[in-house]
Amino acid sequence: MQAMAASTSCSSSVAWAASSPSSLTSRRHAALCSSPSSFSRCPVAGAGAPVLPLGIRGGRLLLPSPLLPGGGKSGAAARNTVATAAAASSPADGAVKAETAGISRTLQLGSMILVWYLLNIYFNIYNKLVLKAVPFPYTITTFQFASGSFFITLMWLLNLHPKPSLSLGQYAKILPLALVHMMGNVFTNMSLGKVAVSFTHTIKAMEPFFSILLSVLFLGETPSFLVLGSLLPIVGGVVLASMTEVSFNWIGFWSAMASNLTNQSRNVFSKKLLADKVETLDDINLFSIMTIMSFLLSVPLMLSVEGIKFSPSYLQSTGVNLQELCVKAALAGTCFHFYQQVSYSLLARVSPVTHSVANCVKRVVVIVSSVLFFRTPISPINALGTGVALAGVFLYSRLKKKAKPKAKTA
């Protein structure tokens, strides 16, 4: 049987060779297999299947080609290879995109902080100039809130930010915030009208002290000993600066302290209000509603305390350039609103600790710029006290990040 199979195989090879005279190798192979004595040298495959030469369809040796997908692999294997290559490249692409997004976010935050600082500098300079010309802090505060209310109304009319939809109960909760917000700005303007800008901001460096006190009383938070220890250089620096301040005035000093208390009360109560998860009440809308309410509350207070002092006849009697004063007051009101708007927007994008550190640096920038602009005389001890207080604020911000306060247990 094997001999017959071999004979059949070799006969098939002879027939193919005869029909393909163009292949010399095929003829030799046919002649070899046609000889009866050469059956043993004619290759036999498996169970008698003929072994075809490499030139025959079905008998080619498939070599992997670098030009084919998968290098000659099957379709499924090629697809797996392409998918594997794509998966290998995706982490690199993701890393590039993440790096680009990180750079873009850093540039955006840096621009916001720069605008925040510049607006704050110009507000303090123009506000001081206005208060020196017309020492009416209640009237100036009302004008600033009126400017803010105008820009907020414009923002809502142009749909630059969604308008809030609140109930009467929610407005009632915001009313105390608006009251302390209004009084905080009144006290700040009173202090700026009595003492130097640099001294007012040195006293306002004691904000962390009131923040901790109010958080313990109303939020039930207990700070760590390290955070409490960071208050020592703050208090000591303010005391040292106050003892050597040339423009020291008790009304200016206590007005700045009252400003610290009211502003930190506003921050603590805002935190409690935003914890209610009111969907339409974000940071921007909360600040906007507080500004409009503060304007409405400041008008009767201004009329009862100072009356209508910002009249053209009164200003002309004092020898003040009315046009120049109105321009400075408008610039101060515009800077007042937008620096607070940028501050709230920045707070929504960074952590409270980062915002606190940026605020500390802002205070340094404002103090230095006001000293240079107004040429405020500062003694070495006064400068040392201011530096120690600001360094304590920076230390407080860093320690606050590492040791978060723990809520009291009932």
Q: What is the DSSP string of 33-86?
A: HHSGGGGGGS--BTTTB----TTSTT-------TTSTTSS--HHHHHHHHHHHH
Is 171 within 8 Å of 296 (Cβ atoms)?
Answer: no
Paired tokens of 368: 């230095």
* pLDDT-derived band at 353, boundaries 50, 70, 90: low
Q: What percent of the chain has pLDDT over 70?
A: 71
Residue 117 confidence (pLDDT): 94
* pLDDT-derived band at 102, boundaries 50, 70, 90: confident
Report the range of poorest mean pLDDT among 30-44, 74-88, 124-138, 335-349.
Answer: 30-44
pLDDT tops 70 at residue 99: yes
CA dist 271 and 297 (Å) reads 22
pLDDT tops 90 at residue 300: yes
Residue 88 confidence (pLDDT): 53
Residue 403 confidence (pLDDT): 63
CA proximity to 125, closest of 383, 377, 373: 373
Phi and psi of 252, rounded to 5°? -65, -40
Which residue intervals of 245-321 are DSSP H helices? Answer: 250-274, 283-305, 312-317
Query: Average of pLDDT values for 325-335?
Result: 92
Query: Average of pLDDT values for 226-233?
Result: 90
Most confident of 145-149, 279-283, 338-342: 145-149
**Could you tell me where the beta strands, DSSP code E, fall in 165-222?**
221-222
- How many CB atoms neighbour CB 77 within 10 A? 13
Write the burial class of residue 343 (CB in 10 Å: 0-12 exposed, 13-18 middle, 19+ buried). buried
pLDDT tops 60 at residue 67: no
CA dist 148 and 59 (Å) reads 87
Query: Average of pLDDT values for 146-155?
Result: 95
pLDDT tops 50 at residue 394: yes
Phi and psi of 406, rounded to 5°? -105, 140
Is 242 within 8 Å of 203 (Cβ atoms)?
Answer: yes
Query: Which position has the token pair 């201011």?
Result: 386
Residue 89 confidence (pLDDT): 54
pLDDT tops 80 at residue 157: yes
Query: Which position has the token pair 């992997």?
Result: 64
Residue 78 confidence (pLDDT): 52
**Could you tell me where the beta strands, DSSP code E, fall in 221-297?**
221-222
Phi and psi of 407, rounded to 5°? -75, 145
Residue 87 confidence (pLDDT): 52
Query: Average of pLDDT values for 229-239?
Result: 91
Tell me the per-residue pLDDT of 192-208, one tens digit each, with 9 for 90 and over.
Answer: 999 999 999 999 888 88
CA dist 300 and 182 (Å) reads 12
pTM: 0.69
Is 138 within 8 Å of 302 (Cβ atoms)?
Answer: yes
Q: Is 23 left (phi over 0), alpha (psi -120 to 50) or beta?
A: beta
CA dist 271 and 263 (Å) reads 13
* pLDDT-derived band at 276, boundaries 50, 70, 90: low
CA dist 241 and 384 (Å) reads 7
* pLDDT-derived band at 278, boundaries 50, 70, 90: low
Query: Average of pLDDT values for 164-184?
Result: 89
CA dist 304 and 342 (Å) reads 32
pLDDT tops 90 at residue 58: no
Report the range of poorest mean pLDDT among 31-45, 140-154, 174-188.
Answer: 31-45
